[in-house]
Amino acid sequence: MEWITEKYVNFASIIDDATLAQNRMTSSMPFVYPHFASMPDAHLGLGCAVGSVLPTLGAIIPAAVGVDIGCGMVAVRTDYTARDIARLDRRVLREAIERAVPLSAGNNNKRVSASAEPRIDSLERDARSAGFDPSSYVKAWRLQLGTLGSGNHFIEVSLDEEDDVWLFLHSGSRGIGNRIAQRHIRAAQDYCARRSIPLPHQDLAHLEEGTPEFDRYISELMWAQKFALLNREEMMDRVVRQFTHWVGKPVKERERINCHHNYTQRETHHGKDVWLSRKGAIAADAGRPGLIPGSMGTRSYVVTGRGNREAMDSAPHGAGREYSRNAARKTFTQDQLRAAMRGIEFRDTPAFLDEIPAAYKDIDVVMQDAKDLVDVRHTLRQTINVKGD
């Protein structure tokens, strides 16, 4: 941990100058209280760096939540072990998951499944209560519930240090969340422009509490966060069903953890109620279970929060990029990706080259930096990896 300024504390030992400069700029906003914190996985982002913890008084910066509202992880510890699945063909399960969960940007379900119906009903009720129509953003939003997306989103089957089998996935609010986020980022920019509010960068435009613009954002933000959480639950239920078919026996869930890492909520820190925005960070108050995935092919972690006061009860959400997607594609080869994924069942395609582990920070360094933020309960190693193009 290092104090960069009196309003900015940094927990990352691997951080570039551009990200430091972006974080200084964000921390300089007058409504930041008590201070801004960057997590061990911090890297350059749109408007606000990924790996940011931003507490604010009376205002919210929509870009500091991000465009994938409510993105996060869910994991299930099953009652199976490595021995139970050792003789089974992992490719069969990978392909079954790929059929059960629509992958890649723009791919939706063909119909609303029976398991999704009550989740859709709940979201429709919440939207009516919030006074908005999600169909005004994305007409087919109902068909997006239970879809993965692309980029760094994944579904994995992993083993922990005791060889227990875990099912693990990472996704968010899909196209509907992106449209909501983009709309309110523009609304914040218009709001600040109309009031001649000076900004160090237009993506740090904010909405002020007590205004109609703020109230609308909060209502739709909370809805999108719930969509993301239910989206992960729907996908995980499908993964559990495919795993059940694969092993030929029911799965008993010993534990399920579902946590956001792009979101805002009301919290109390340093004696005041603030809006706490975590963009690429998980809640890690004392005793809270959490999930920190590594990059494709590397270890992931099941953790418990330590309640670090200076981090505002937060922890990193993953490894954090060191290479942009374009730079990764120019730097690394498909053979290097195959070598990194040796022993893991995955779809061997150049589409995943920008997700090669070498494009990310070393997860071991990230977790060492996070030693005052979380305690590690389980270390997971992948056996199957599913991703969208």
Neighbour count for residue 283 (Cβ, 10 Å): 21
Nearest alpha-carbon partner for 237 in 119, 70, 387: 119
81 burial class (0-12, 13-18, 19+ CB within 10 angstroms)? middle
Give the E-state strand segments of the chain in sequence order.
2-5, 8-10, 36-43, 50-56, 59-60, 72-81, 154-159, 164-171, 207-208, 255-260, 262-269, 272-279, 281-283, 289-292, 300-305, 314-316, 374-386
Q: Supply the residues annotated as catalytic.
A: 317
**The model's pTM:** 0.96
For residue range 221-252, what is the model confidence (pLDDT) as tens digits? 999 999 999 999 999 999 999 999 999 999 99
Query: What Rg value do the Cα atoms of the chain yield, rounded?
Result: 20
- Which residue shows structure tokens 């992993």? 158
Contact present, 141 and 176 (Cβ < 8 Å): yes
Instruction: Give pLDDT, residue 233.
Output: 98
CATH numbers and ranges of domains, the chain: 2-386 (3.90.1860.10)
* Local mean pLDDT, 10-residue blocks, the chain (389 residues): 96 96 96 98 91 98 95 98 97 97 92 96 97 96 96 95 97 96 97 96 96 97 98 98 97 97 97 97 98 93 98 95 92 96 95 93 95 98 94
Instruction: Give pLDDT, residue 105.
Output: 85
Instruction: Give pLDDT, residue 106.
Output: 86
26 burial class (0-12, 13-18, 19+ CB within 10 angstroms)? buried
Nearest alpha-carbon partner for 170 in 92, 100, 261: 261
